[in-house]
Amino acid sequence: MKNTLFLLAIIALVFSCNSSKKPTSQIKEDIQLKKGDTIKISGDTVEYDVIIIEAGFGSYLASTAKPEGFYTQSYLENKNIRYVQEWNRRVLQPTRYNSNLYEMEINYFHGTDYGYEVNYKMYNYFVYFQNRYNQNLLGTRVPQN
């Protein structure tokens, strides 16, 4: 649960700042993470760094998720816009939805080119999140293979 909250804080911070890419300082965590539980998304042409710290997500991405290139960037962007809209709607309704899962809004803007890798990993995180926490963000869950 702490991992999800930390992820949301990082995503919100990253997407709310449109500054140039800076080196990421070392993140100190109270939780013990296994190798592969931290996913960092960055690149030379991307101004955004996204760090996803979620136990099991690295394994899911490596073994269960569809491979990079399976989806088009526009498909991923469209899905992510819808996922983020629903996520943010749930953040604003803490009495209806678990506020431990939906603690912080995600600032993901339609029309901003975050690049393929950011969209791919965000999309897969939403799929992973739905399956792990038994949530339906868009009315249908994407079952794990």
User: In this structure, what token pair is assigned to residue 92?
Assistant: 């604003």
Number of domains in the chain: 1
Is the pLDDT at 97 greater than 70? The verdict is yes
Tell me if 140 is assigned to some domain: no
Asked if 51 and 24 count as a contact pair (C-beta separation under 8 A), the reply is yes
Q: Which residues contact 25 (CB under 8 A, 6 or more apart)?
A: none
Is the pLDDT at 100 greater than 60? The verdict is yes
Q: Which pLDDT score is estimated for 54? A: 77
Tell me if 48 is assigned to some domain: yes
Tell me if 139 is assigned to some domain: no
Asked if 9 and 106 count as a contact pair (C-beta separation under 8 A), the reply is no
> What's the pTM?
0.68
Tell me if 144 is assigned to some domain: no
Is the pLDDT at 103 greater than 70? The verdict is yes
Tell me if 143 is assigned to some domain: no
The residue range of the domain holding 88 is: 2-20+29-132
Q: Amino acid letter at 88?
A: N
Residues 87-97, mean pLDDT to the nearest whole number: 94
Percent of the chain with pLDDT over 90: 39
Percentages helix, strand, coil for the chain (3-state, rounded to 5) are: 40, 5, 55
Q: Which pLDDT score is estimated for 26? A: 33
Q: Amino acid letter at 11?
A: I
How many CB atoms neighbour CB 55 within 10 A?
16
DSSP state, residue 7: H
